[in-house]
Structure formats: C-alpha cells, structure tokens
Chains A and B, each alone.
Chain A
Amino acid sequence: MGRYARLESALELGRLMERHYAEALDRRHLRPVAWVNAGAPVELLRAMDVLAVYPENYAAMCGVRGALWLCEVAEGAGYSRDLCSYARISLGASLSGPSAPYEGLGRPDLLICCNNSCGTIVKWFEALGRLFEAPLFVIDTPYVHDGLPGHAAAYVAAQLQELIHWLERVAARRLHPGALEEALRLSREVTLLWREIRSYCRTRPSPLNAPDLFTHMAPIVVLRGTAEAVAYYRRLRDEVRQRAQRGVGAIPNERYRLLWDNIAIWSHLSRFYYLFAAHGACFVTDTYTGAWDAVPEEGDPIESLARVYTTIYLNRSLRFRLGQMEQLMQDYACDGFVMHNNRSCKAFSLGQPSARRRLADATGAPGLLLEADMCDTRAYAEGQVRARVEAFLETLAGRAG
C-alpha cells in the first residue's frame, strides 16, 4: 500500500486558519465580529469592515477532532438529538466557553444568517442571539425551482440594502465607495481559482481526493472576498496543476473514479475515505465543495450578490441537482457514486433515495447510499459502513471484469 500524498499547501492552510481564528478571539481590534453562516453575503461585511466568523466551519473543525461531547452538552441543555450536529456543536461550544476546542469561538457582536442552506440555520442563530444577547439579521431567499424569477431577485436585493442600513445603525459602519466592488472582484477571482483547482481532477489519475477538497475548501468559505484567500488558492492551484501535469495521483493506484454527494464525514475523514483509497477508489468530484463554485456576475454588486446567494446548490430543486451530478459524472469520467445520507443535513439528504435510482439509471453507474452523519459519531457504525463499502467496491470490480 502506497502512502497518501500530502499537499505541501496544507501547512500554509493551517497557518491561514490559525490566524483567522486568533483574530476572532482577539478583541483588541476594534472591528465588530459577526457570526455568519456559509450562505451569507460576506462581501458586504468585507466592504463595511466587519469581521465574519463561521460557526459552521468551526463545528466542522471540532468534528474532525471529535465533538460528540459538545453534542451532548447541547442535548443536555434541551436541544434534540435529531437536530443538525453543526448546530449542536456550535451551541454546545457556546455553552462551554473557553473549555471548547481551540478555546472556543469567543462571542459575536452581531449575527447574520441566510436561509438559503436550510431552515435550521435560522433557529440555530436565534438561539445564539438569545445566548449572547446579540442582534440577528435574517436574509430570506426564496427556493429556486427552475430559473430565478425577477421578483425573487429583487426581494433579496432589497433585503441586502436593508442589511447595509442595519449595519450602519447597529455596528456604526459605513459602506465605502468602491469597497464592495473590490470585495466582489476578490470573490470572483477566488471562485475562479477554486473552479480551476477542482477541474484538474479530470486528469487521470486525479491529483486530489475528496478529503483534500474538504480540507482545502475552508478558506473559500471563511475568507472569501479577501486577498489572503486569493494568494492561498494561487499557491494551491500551482501545486495541483503541477501534480496533474506530472501525473501524480492523490491516491496510489487509482482504479475507480467516484463522485461524492453531501457534506463530508468529518469525524472519520481519514479512516472512512481510506476504506476506498485502499481499494484504489478516488473521489474525484463532489457536490459539497462544488457548492462554492458559483462566480458572482459583473454589474450591479447588490444584484449580483442577490443572484449568487439565492441560486446556491442547496436552494435549488432536486431536478437541478440531479442534472449537476449527471454532468459532473460525465465531466470527471466517474465509474460510480456515493451518497452520504447525512442524518444532520436534511436539506442535502432529502430525496437521495430516488436521486440515487435516477442517477444510476441515467449514467449506468452504480451508486451507494450510506447512512451516517457529518459529526455525530453515534450515527456512524464502523462494521455496517465497512460491509456496505466493500460490497460496493466488489460490485465496481465485478463490472470492470
């Protein structure tokens, strides 16, 4: 068994994230701290000099270290076990203060969330608002069935205007002329770099495997619209491009190319994906890190933000998502796919059983539906997972003949 090839950029990634979280905790700077969700229009906050901090990303990092105890703290406080594990980890960590991993996430001055990812996020942020006595701004994005109707885009744009006024009032910030355009330009650049990096995985062997994508997606979420993120992804792009040009694969002996659907299993990031890598199966593309692939258009910045944040992957119909998966399977020459039926994420997991059938029918490739959770280890049964994964890989081998 060959060794798993580590990316050199990983070291820089660690430093970058450390700096970011140190800034969140350091209250000597005078910028207000806003806790936001991954689907919030962060470019506006960059332009108004508000520090954006992501409880979802923090929860994922805790999940990698093992965060069951934080879930249990939240459950002890009355939050249901059926609730999203990011929400439980975030609430559990907020209740635990500095004894939480990485000395906790500090406290927010403001809370901003957008319901484009799910409905849970709103309730979760409301709970944080009560806990920290911080004001909350909610952006409501209508669900996109087919195209985005003009009235829906206008409705969201009006809320973004209101958010600017809210930040002026609540946080005494000004929107500097040209600053929003600059933040959007950086966002556009970083998104294009991320798209380019992912696209190198079309090469055989793929220079990246899903765990690489999951780890290196952090800056595109938490530092989108900043120059540091652009610098980081340029460096990563060069490294991945070089791997692709030199024929260096992420895993030794790539035999099967797979698509991954849903959020990563953070609690078993190396152990779970190793089950596949050990048999030469590499996840060359996925719907999760691809959700940050949408490039904001040029033109009016508020309209562009409204459009890009309303049409994110999770806010779109199953039909749209199926089409995307089918296209990805074709573009990346996938032999099969694995759908993580994530107990936490209802928005991502709803409809998966029928999507699995349809995608298998459309592509002729086998698909595995696996029940687990992104962070709650009680929903992950080692023996059962292993039995399913091995049977699936044997099915792939049987087809390869």
Chain B
Amino acid sequence: MSAYLGIDIGSRVVKVVLVGAHGRVLARAVAPAGIDGPAIAAELTARVCAEAGVGPREVGYTVATGYGRVRFCEADAEVSEITCHARGARHLVPGARTVIDIGGQDSKVIALDEQGRVADFCMNDRCAAGTGRFLEVTAEALGLSVEGLAAEHALARQPVTISSTCTVFAESEVISHLARGTPRPEIVAGLHHAIASRLLGMAGRVGLTPVVVCTGGVAQNAGVIAALEAIGKVAITVPPDAQLAGALGAALIAAARAAERR
C-alpha cells in the first residue's frame, strides 16, 4: 500500500495527515506543539501510521511545512506553508480562489489562479494581531476559553469597537471595557470584528475573489467567520478539517512528488 505524509509544525499546534492513493485521508492527528514541535511531530507520525496500519517503510514520501519544518530532519522535502495551505484548501474546496488562513502566530491571505496555483499572497508582519494568539490572550483576559468565544459572540447585540489591533494594547482595552461594565458578549464580538478588519486589510492587498475559503485553527470560531462575512461582504466557506489544510496540502504534495519520482 502506498501512503504519503504531510506534517505541519505550526508555532502553536502540530498537525499530521496521512493520505493514500487519490488523496484519500487515511489518518490524521493534532497536538499542541509545546516547546519541541519536531518531537511532537514524530509522535503524531507514529500514531497516524499505527492507526492506518501503515508501516514506517510504507510511507512513500514525507513533506514538512510550518515554522518548525527547518528543525524536522525526517522529511523528504520542505515546502512553505503558503504552497501547502493553497493546495490543501483547493483540495477541500475545488473552486477556491482565495484562502484566508488564520494560524497561531501568523495569518495569511493567498490568491489562487484558475488552475489553483498561488498567484499572490500576503502575510502579517512581526505582529500577533489578526492571529490565533491574539484571541488566546484576549480570551484569557475575559476569563473565557478560546472554544467558548463563538458561543459568547452569538449573544452579542452590538459589538464594541476595539480600536487597537495590537495584542497587548487590545488586552488592556478589554480590561477597561470590563471595568466599565460592558457585557462580555459585546467585547468578544468587538474582538472578532477587530481581527476580521485586520485580515481584510491584508486581503485588500491581494484581492478577495470568490470562492473564499478560511482555514487554520481560528476558522473553527464561527464568530470570526461571521465578522469576516459581515465586514468583507463576502461569503466564506469553512471546510471540515480546516485546521488540517496545511498538513493535508503537504501530504498531497508528497503524493505528487512521489509520483514524479517514479
């Protein structure tokens, strides 16, 4: 049996996907990166192989992506997260022309051409605004878990304005809103609006051609998606397994490279 491995070692979370022939997903695994992403990646690799009943030698090709990829020595190739996310998103949503990926410490907007190749991209620079980390920090200030943010957002009548998209300043803004007695759902909705405007600002650099797909861990937060749709006036598709798009893309590239090698 032939199997191909995609490993996405992100700044916060490690994702591993094993695919078989025709890109069928055989197994997947996700775990926090902690302080040693490559070690977690090795553990998850063993786990997905065991789950799929694939021996280590049966893995035909491995592609690593994400920030930790440079330190991970067991891959056949390294491919940037832009290329991997584009490939994964296009596989999950075949008509995708724009990918908004919101990761732990970096977010990106990727424009695809009609053939699904990367035409242009834009990433946030040197700032955690518009990333998952922004939500983690501000959720903590609100006494909420990241998972609880979407439910809280749903209760909001009118989002407050969070004027700063700097993570540190936004946190102090949240605290002053709480001190003023602003209802928590409205603060949460305000945060989601802030992150969405920041992302749409980046999207403005590369264009926002439908079909727009959102990937990355934050895509699971319905509040952020609602804010993106409201401000960007565009429908957004969130595929199942949105968080795994990068690892899936890496696995699909691995399969293609193995085919080239034959």
Contact = CB atoms under 8 A, between A and B. Distances in A.
A227 B238 CA distance: 67
Interface in B45-97: 67, 70, 78-83
B79 A394 contact: yes
A154 interface: no
B43 interface: no
Contacts, number: 50
A387 B125 contact: no
A183 to B, nearest CB: 44
A379 interface: yes
B29 interface: no
Contact of A384 (B82, B83, B106): B106
Interface in A380-401: 381, 383-384, 386-388, 390-391, 394-395, 398-399
Contacts of A366: 119-120
Contact of B205 (A353, A398, A399): A353
A390 B80 contact: yes
A357 interface: yes
A64 interface: no
A394 B119 CA distance: 11
Interface string B173-211: 000000000000000000000000000000001000000
A275 B205 CA distance: 25
A391 B121 contact: yes
A388 B123 contact: yes
A394 B126 CA distance: 22
A360 B207 CA distance: 13
Contacts of A388: 123
B118 A394 contact: yes
Contact of A395 (B67, B70, B121): B121
Nearest to B253: A394
A368 to B, nearest CB: 9
A111 to B, nearest CB: 35
A196 interface: no
Contacts of B126: 371, 379, 381, 384
A353 B120 CA distance: 13
A371 B120 contact: no
B109 to A, nearest CB: 12
Contacts of A383: 67, 70
B205 A357 contact: yes
Contacts of B125: 371, 384
A347 to B, nearest CB: 20
B117 interface: yes
Interface string A120-155: 000000000000000000000000000000000000
Interface SS of B by simple majority? mixed
A390 B67 CA distance: 12
Contacts of A379: 126
Contacts of B120: 360, 366, 395
A354 to B, nearest CB: 9
Nearest to B125: A371
B79 A387 contact: no
A398 B117 contact: yes
A360 B122 CA distance: 14
B235 to A, nearest CB: 24
Nearest to A399: B117
Nearest to B122: A369
A370 to B, nearest CB: 9
A384 B81 CA distance: 11
A96 B76 CA distance: 50
A388 B82 CA distance: 8
Nearest to A401: B117
B144 to A, nearest CB: 29
A390 B79 CA distance: 8
Contact of A391 (B67, B118, B205): B118
Nearest to B110: A391
Give the residue among A366, A371, A391 with the most B Cβ atoms within 10 A.
A391
B81 A391 contact: yes
Contact of A394 (B70, B82, B122): B82
A353 B117 CA distance: 22
Interface in A5-51: none
Contacts of A357: 205
Give the residue among A356, A360, A394, A399 with the most B Cβ atoms within 10 A.
A394
Contacts of A395: 82-83, 117-121
B117 A391 contact: no
A390 B121 CA distance: 12
B117 A387 contact: no
B169 to A, nearest CB: 17
Contacts of B78: 390
A116 B70 CA distance: 44
B83 A394 contact: yes
A399 B117 CA distance: 8
Contacts of A353: 205
Contacts of B119: 366, 395
Contacts of A399: 117
A383 to B, nearest CB: 6
A394 B80 contact: yes
A372 to B, nearest CB: 9
A327 B13 CA distance: 45
22 contacts: A353-B205, A356-B205, A357-B205, A360-B120, A371-B125, A371-B126, A379-B126, A387-B80, A387-B82, A387-B106, A390-B78, A390-B80, A391-B81, A391-B82, A394-B80, A394-B82, A394-B118, A395-B82, A395-B83, A395-B119, A395-B120, A399-B117
Interface of B: 67, 70, 78-83, 106, 117-123, 125-126, 205
Interface of A: 353, 356-357, 360, 366, 369, 371, 379, 381, 383-384, 386-388, 390-391, 394-395, 398-399
The 5 lowest CB-CB distance pairs between A and B, nearest first, are: A391-B82, A391-B80, A390-B80, A371-B125, A394-B83
Given A379-B126, A395-B119, 9 more contacts: A369-B122, A381-B126, A384-B125, A387-B106, A391-B121, A394-B79, A394-B83, A395-B117, A398-B118
